[in-house]
Amino acid sequence: MNALQISFFPDSRRRAREQLLSDWPSLVDIAESAAATGAQIAVIQASHVPGHIERNGINYFFMAPQATQSLARKPEFIARLTDLSPQVIHVHGLGFARDVVALREVAPRTPMLLQDHADRPPRIWRRARWRRGVAAASGISFCARAQAAEFSRRGLLPSHVELFEIPESTSRFTPGDQSTARAATRLAGDPCVLWVGHLDRNKDPLTVLAGVAAALDELPRLQLWCCFGSAPLFDEVRACIDADARLRERVHLLGRVPHHKIQTLMRAADLFVLGSHREGSSFSLIEALATGLTPVVTDIPSLRALTGDGSVGELWRCGDAQSLRAALIRAAAQTGDAERARTRQHFDANLSHAAVGRRFVAAYESLIEGHAHAHS
């Protein structure tokens, strides 16, 4: 199996090649996941710092994009594509119609998989081009198959495109001793609940705070610890906490936390909470599952898929504080080493590098076989 993964996502910060691989871990994780199955993987990444890196048997080629021409039409790209001669091409993202159409023209007989990365249906005036891009593909992967529905309703998915349900990425986080992690982080609570996400309307921290407040009669020792980056709702969140004496004693706004410290916070906590109304996937949930942290997350397609339809942790209704209250109470009754081990087992079986790699390679093989039948 010889596959080429392509990312047309431009790096506006113009980072050095090694730094880009460090800052975009999913680029590496998806490539190494597929390679772990024995597939031969190469990666082409749009970059204003061109060059080449070989890491763990994978060749990463960085090529400068051009505003007036698709990267796939550049002679350098075509020469590299010819040299690699992939059996299948895997393109990150659904929003690069121009590039995908160009890629189909230079590789007309190579099956192509597009991977959804939290893409949204395009505006009406962009749909004609978007359809041409998708029509050039052989398959599309979503974190949850149900996510394809909003595209299908708008007539954006042609019938010949095969759909696959594959997690968006994986994580290198691992479980660890909780008491050691609590000593290192000073997290406390029974249960100790962790939030990792922006303070915005989609993540819905205000409903989470309302659900936590509603659960305090049954869980009086609960403590909520919040890590966040952007915070357009910070003032509203702060006002909500200040207005409730019980929340003032139990909610801790940690702000932005370096990514390498998130693993220790997750090891220290008992429960992981999310209030998202929409997610293409959730890297923070994948990381929580990797550490064995029990999820209490909204019942939306991607989070439902990542938790095995709620086979680990608890699902609750978006925007419903009472549903969160009940989920927190149920989850708090089942914390402990056995539950953490069960959650990690779920991760190993469904979200680990090996598991994600097997799904991608199975998709590659399906597209190659289908392409061969179509042209036989």
pLDDT band at 254 (very low <50, low <70, confident <90, very high): very high
Residue 65 pLDDT: 86
One domain, residues 164 and 262: no
- What is the token pair recorded at 28? 């590496």
196 and 70 in one domain? no
Q: Exposure string (b/e) for 6-31, b if CB count within 10 Å is 16 or more?
A: bbbbebeeebebeebbeebebbbbbb
Alpha helices in 44-112 (DSSP H): 75-84, 97-106
Q: Residue 68: what pLDDT?
A: 75
70 and 200 share a domain? Answer: no
Counting residues of the chain whose pLDDT is more than 90, the rounded percentage is 90
Each residue of 323-367: pLDDT tens digit? 999 999 999 999 999 999 999 999 999 999 999 999 999 999 999
Strand partners, 91: 6, 114
Taking residues 208-229, report their average pLDDT: 97
Taking the model in full, what pTM does it have? 0.95
| 299 pLDDT more than 80 | yes
Average pLDDT value for residue range 150-161:
91
Q: Which one, of 333, 314, 237, 210, lies nearest residue 272 by Cα?
A: 314
> Does 144 share its domain with 184?
no
Q: Within this chain, do residues 216 and 252 fall inside the same structural domain, yes or no? A: yes
Residues 345, 239, single domain; the answer is: yes
Do 70 and 124 fall within a single domain? yes
3-state secondary structure (DSSP) of residue 90: strand
Clarify whether residues 276 and 343 are in a common domain: yes
- Give the span between the Cα atoms of 249 and 241, in whole angstroms: 9
Write down the pLDDT at residue 147.
95
CB 287 within 8 A of CB 305: no
pLDDT of residue 10: 86
Given a contact cutoff of 8 angstroms between Cβ atoms, the answer to whether 298 and 274 are in contact is yes
Of 374, 360, 305, residue with least CA distance to 114? 360
Residues 109 and 253 in one domain: no
Report the C-alpha gap between 157 and 164 in whole angstroms.
Answer: 13
Full residue range of the structural domain in which residue 334 is found: 178-351
- Domain tally, the chain: 2
Output the pLDDT for position 375.
64
Helix (H, G, I), strand (E, B) or coil at 297: strand
Based on the domain organization, do 219 and 135 belong to the same domain?
A: no
Nearest to 209, CA basis, from 245, 190, 237, 228 = 237
Is residue 374 predicted with pLDDT exceeding 80?
no
Closest C-alpha among 39, 52, 134 to residue 87: 39
Strands 88-92 and 112-115, sheet pairing: parallel
Query: Cα separation of 250 and 183, whole Å?
Result: 18
For residues 124 and 201, state if they share a domain. no
Q: Which residue has the tokens 């998806």?
A: 30
- Say yes or no: 212 and 77 in one domain: no
Confidence of residue 263 (pLDDT cuts 50, 70, 90): very high
Confidence class for position 370, pLDDT limits 50, 70, 90: confident
State residue 67's pLDDT score.
75
Please list the residues that pair with 92 across neighbouring strands: 7, 115
Q: Residue 319 CB: number of other CB atoms within 10 A?
A: 14
Q: How much is the mean pLDDT over the chain?
A: 95
Q: Would you state the pLDDT for residue 376?
A: 60
The pLDDT of 305-315, averaged and rounded, is 97
At 152, which CATH number?
3.40.50.2000
- The arithmetic mean of pLDDT across residues 130-154, rounded, is 94
> Cβ distance 362 to 315 under 8 Å?
no
> Which of the four pLDDT bands, split at 50, 70 and 90, describes residue 122?
confident
Determine contact, residues 140/113, Cβ cutoff 8 Å. Answer: yes
Query: Is 37 or 376 the better-scoring residue by pLDDT?
Result: 37
pLDDT at 125: 87
